[in-house]
């Protein structure tokens, strides 16, 4: 029998049970190289992984079966690079999250994960041309200064941010709420091709995972977690965009909002957030200067 490495065992475990690192840590503390996991009782696995006894039994059966599957080869064939939590390219800023991803599945230019500064640019799925116009003032200075633009590959403002960055010759990362075998939403099919060929898409889910509505709030914490600063163009008062914004504020990130016309429902989120501590932004040089000031202070 071929001896499995920790990397292979971790891939197999995560394929069967794609949980964040905080859920996996009790098991790793007891079995740090995962050599004992396949021989553990269902009771032990239930206790360490916080599973019901029945789920633990099914996990053990599936895990032992997947151990013999050539996952590394399958991922390589599909140009997917798994980046586990102990990989040198794993973003250190994600490790500060309460629930860091156990593995990031990357497709595209993984060197983007070694860059110095990241700014997330997000907004409403039904964003208007106001978002596009705002980005024409905000993105060029960021791109010119080598800042990587992060967004969520959703339709609307996210797609605008990725496409505009590409058109400017910049670097952009798309964070997915599903695995790489799915392109969602369908309207962004061409954008996926651009991102995978020229930029980078990231997911914390194995490639076979399909979109589910509860995965997108999980994705949003990575959008805010990866960035040094976050920009919101348009958003309704209660929306996933505002939740991401709040997550960024709670984690000490600089948050910038584009002030919007009071006649638009998509201005309610940014305008309200300006009252709660976000900074108004109308030009990317404001963010660049803040970055330079921060570097000087360090």
Q: What is the pLDDT of residues 169-202, one digit of tens each?
A: 999 999 999 999 999 999 999 999 999 999 999 9
Rounded Cα distance between 276 and 184, Å, is 33
pLDDT band at 209, cuts 50/70/90? Answer: very high
Ramachandran sector of residue 130 (left: φ over 0; alpha: ψ -120 to 50; beta: rest): alpha
Rounded Cα distance between 192 and 201, Å, is 8
Yes or no: say if 144 and 119 are a contact pair by the CB < 8 Å rule: no
Strand-strand pairing, 81-84 and 103-108: antiparallel
The pTM score is 0.94
Q: What is the pLDDT of residues 85-101, one digit of tens each?
A: 999 999 999 999 999 99
Rounded Cα distance between 290 and 229, Å, is 10
Exposure string for 218-241, b = 16+ CB within 10 A, e = fewer: bbbbbbbbbbbbbbbbbbbeebbb
pLDDT band at 2, cuts 50/70/90? Answer: very low
- Residues in a beta bridge with 140: none
- The CATH number corresponding to 107-297 among 3.40.50.450, 3.20.20.190, 3.40.50.720, 3.10.129.10 equals 3.40.50.450
């Amino acid at each position: 029998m071929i001896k499995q490495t920790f990397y292979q065992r971790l891939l197999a475990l995560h394929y069967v049970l794609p949980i964040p690192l905080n859920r996996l840590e009790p098991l790793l503390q007891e079995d740090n190289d995962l050599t004992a996991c396949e021989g553990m009782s269902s009771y032990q696995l239930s206790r360490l992984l916080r599973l019901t006894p029945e789920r633990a039994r099914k996990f053990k059966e599936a895990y032992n079966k997947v151990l013999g599957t050539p996952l590394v080869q399958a991922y390589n064939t599909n140009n997917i690079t798994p980046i586990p939590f102990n990989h040198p390219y794993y973003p250190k800023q994600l490790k500060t999250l309460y629930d860091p991803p156990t593995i990031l599945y990357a497709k595209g230019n993984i060197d983007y994960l070694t860059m110095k500064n990241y700014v997330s640019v997000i907004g409403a799925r039904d964003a208007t041309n106001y978002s596009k116009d705002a980005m024409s003032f905000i993105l060029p200075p960021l791109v010119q200064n080598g800042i990587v633009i992060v967004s969520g590959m959703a339709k609307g403002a996210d797609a605008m941010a990725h496409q505009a960055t590409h058109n400017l010759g910049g670097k952009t990362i798309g964070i997915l709420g599903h695995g790489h075998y799915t392109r969602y939403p369908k309207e962004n099919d061409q954008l996926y091709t651009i991102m995978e060929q020229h930029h980078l898409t990231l997911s914390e889910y194995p490639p076979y995972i399909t979109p589910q509505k509860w995965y997108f709030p999980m994705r949003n914490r990575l959008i805010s977690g990866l960035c040094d600063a976050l920009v919101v163009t348009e958003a309704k008062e209660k929306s996933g965009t505002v939740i991401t914004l709040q997550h960024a504020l709670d984690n000490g990130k600089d948050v910038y909002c584009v002030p919007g016309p009071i006649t638009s429902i998509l201005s309610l989120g940014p305008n309200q957030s300006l009252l709660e501590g976000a900074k108004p932004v109308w030009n990317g040089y404001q963010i660049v200067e803040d970055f330079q000031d921060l570097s000087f202070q360090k």
